[in-house]
Amino acid sequence: MGRENSMGITAKKAEDFPEWYSQAVIKSGLVDYGPVHGTTAFAPQSYALWENIQDIFNAMIKKSGHKNAYFPLLIPEGFLSKEAEHFKGFVPEIYWVTHNGSSELKERLAIRPTSETMIYYFMARWIRSWRDLPMLLNQWCNILRAEIKDTKPFVRTSEFLWQEGHTAHATDKEAEEEVMRILEYYRTIVEDYIAVPVLMGRKSELEKFAGAKYTLTIEAMMPDGKAIQMATSHHLGQNFSKPFGIKFLGQDSKEYNVWTTSWGISTRTLGALVMVHGDDKGLVIPPRIADVHVVIIPIFTKDNREEVLEFCEEIKRGIGDSCSTVLDSDENTSPGYKFNAWELKGVPLRLEAGQRDMEKHQVTLVRRDNGQKSAVDIGSIREKVAQTLDDIQKSLYSKAREGLAKSTHEADTYAKFRELAPKGGFIKAQWCGKDECELKIKEDTTATSRLIPFNEKKKGACIVCGSPTETIVYFARAY
Ligand SMILES: [Zn+2]
């Protein structure tokens, strides 16, 4: 077996999805495993994707008046325990710092599993009157939550990167509007840039964020039939502002507690990107999120090398700075090796140029998503590249959209639900709202309630207990 074969992915996506995924993220150079269980390094290639998400999100939130800030990593135990539900929810995952040098600390310090409590400490100091509201803060940082179970790069790791937004408002209504506004930003990033379709809705009481009044979520379906929670937006009511004493003086000179929200999107989204779009050759990066859009592969012999390279430079200049183009002029690897290497990395477009292309003043354009080849006159290369990248973006999304539709099923009886559950995908069913019915479904099938859609209601009965209800829930097994 030659070098060209051994570096590629050996598992098939349709046959052994978990193995395919781990080879895809490792062999493409996105991540590498850390020495401590559940940790990974984000190589430049994946960090560049994360930076693109940061840029897109920063532009959105800054436009609506949010500001970036940074808060301390170590959270005193007493802070976390101030909101009892929150503490209970996070305790099993916390990494504790117990020593300061060689001396034992009087109070344990948590490495932030999320920063509500730390940021509220500051908000209580910074908010004085209605003039300070709304306070719209966001922090980009790392988070530690112990993952003892199966770990998976991007999707399930003890340390990950995210943004966490934290806002304080004068009224309940403003906080409600905020969590919806942010959910829509998340939908835009995931659908319009990462090209992964999502369902939007509200979490059940059992699945909501620990300490929240309610949680909104966007969820995507992976090709193996498991759902991934892509981002969440929480309305925290006054559950935190009361214990943390975040008060403001209203225009009527009376004191009130603020209403707070928190919301986050993490590097998990990159895992979904790989799972949804990747194929047996490797990654397929949607153009709108890609770091490199085009790779030019020169096909030369030792006699025409200079000429072909000059032609490729001309093509690169022709494409201009509308997208990011790499010319792979490495002399030590063959064109075939380069094709495989760049396919593995998922660069959306490949241009091949050799002697014949040069004579015809053309270049061969190859799409990563479907392998389609076409010859393009280099006079129109700029427009053709832009148009093809746009086509790739749209076609990745519509293909994923079809996948979502195909893996969404409906169950009107519990028997039907139990028959569908092992097959994976979303199962749409009616539920009365009681914890016990939701828990029974989880125990019997391992499927959890993923979301209650915003505007879908139907007169019917709970599939478990038969009580009349209008509520529809999407259930699924999830990462
Ligand atoms: Zn029920």
Give 204 Cα–ligand 1 centroid separation in angstroms.
13
Give 435 Cα–ligand 1 centroid separation in angstroms.
8
Give 422 Cα–ligand 1 centroid separation in angstroms.
21
Q: Which residue has the tokens 């948590």?
A: 110
Give 464 Cα–ligand 1 centroid separation in angstroms.
5
Measured in whole angstroms, the distance separating CA 376 from the mean position of its chain's CA atoms is 35
CA distances from 293 to 171, 270, 385 (A): 45, 17, 9
Q: What is the chain's length?
A: 479
CA distances from 37 to 34, 139, 149, 246, 269 (A): 7, 26, 10, 38, 21
Give 462 Cα–ligand 1 centroid separation in angstroms.
5
Model's pTM, two decimal places? 0.96
Q: For residues 407 and 455, is the Cβ–Cβ distance under 8 A?
A: no
In this prediction, residue 98 carries a pLDDT of 97
CA atoms within 13 A on the CB side of 232: 20
**Torsion angle of alpha carbons 422, 428, 431, 434, nearest 10°?**
60
Give 450 Cα–ligand 1 centroid separation in angstroms.
16
Give 248 Cα–ligand 1 centroid separation in angstroms.
42
Look at residues 190, 155, 183 and name the one whose alpha carbon lies nearest to residue 397.
Answer: 190
In this prediction, residue 7 carries a pLDDT of 80
Give 461 Cα–ligand 1 centroid separation in angstroms.
8
Give 431 Cα–ligand 1 centroid separation in angstroms.
5
- Distance (Å, rounded) from C-alpha 44 to C-alpha 326? 15
Give 468 Cα–ligand 1 centroid separation in angstroms.
8
Give 106 Cα–ligand 1 centroid separation in angstroms.
47
Q: What is the CATH number of domain 408-476?
A: 3.30.110.30
**CB-based contacts of 62, cutoff 8 Å, min separation 6:** none
Q: Which residue has the tokens 């493409």?
A: 28
Q: Where are the domains of the chain?
A: 7-277, 294-389, 408-476
- Distance (Å, rounded) from C-alpha 227 to C-alpha 28? 24
In this prediction, residue 148 carries a pLDDT of 78
In this prediction, residue 6 carries a pLDDT of 59
CA distances from 414 to 92, 425, 462 (A): 32, 16, 9
Per-residue pLDDT of the chain (479 residues; tens, 9 = 90+): 344 445 899 999 999 999 999 999 999 999 999 999 999 999 999 999 999 999 999 999 999 999 999 999 999 999 998 888 888 888 899 999 999 999 999 999 999 999 999 999 999 999 999 999 999 999 999 999 998 778 999 999 999 999 999 999 999 999 999 999 999 999 999 999 999 999 999 999 999 998 999 999 999 999 999 999 999 999 999 999 999 999 999 999 999 999 999 999 999 999 999 999 999 999 999 999 999 999 999 999 999 999 999 999 999 999 999 899 999 999 999 999 999 999 999 999 999 999 999 999 999 999 999 999 999 999 999 999 999 999 999 999 999 999 999 999 999 999 999 999 999 999 999 999 999 999 999 999 999 999 999 989 999 999 999 999 999 999 999 99
Q: What is the CATH number of domain 294-389?
A: 3.40.50.800
Give 409 Cα–ligand 1 centroid separation in angstroms.
19
Give 414 Cα–ligand 1 centroid separation in angstroms.
11
CB atoms within 10 A of CB 470: 10
Query: Which residues crowd ion ligand 1, with CB under 5 Å?
Result: 432, 434, 437, 462, 464-465
Give 81's strand partners. none
Give 476 Cα–ligand 1 centroid separation in angstroms.
17
Q: What is the CATH number of domain 7-277?
A: 3.30.930.10
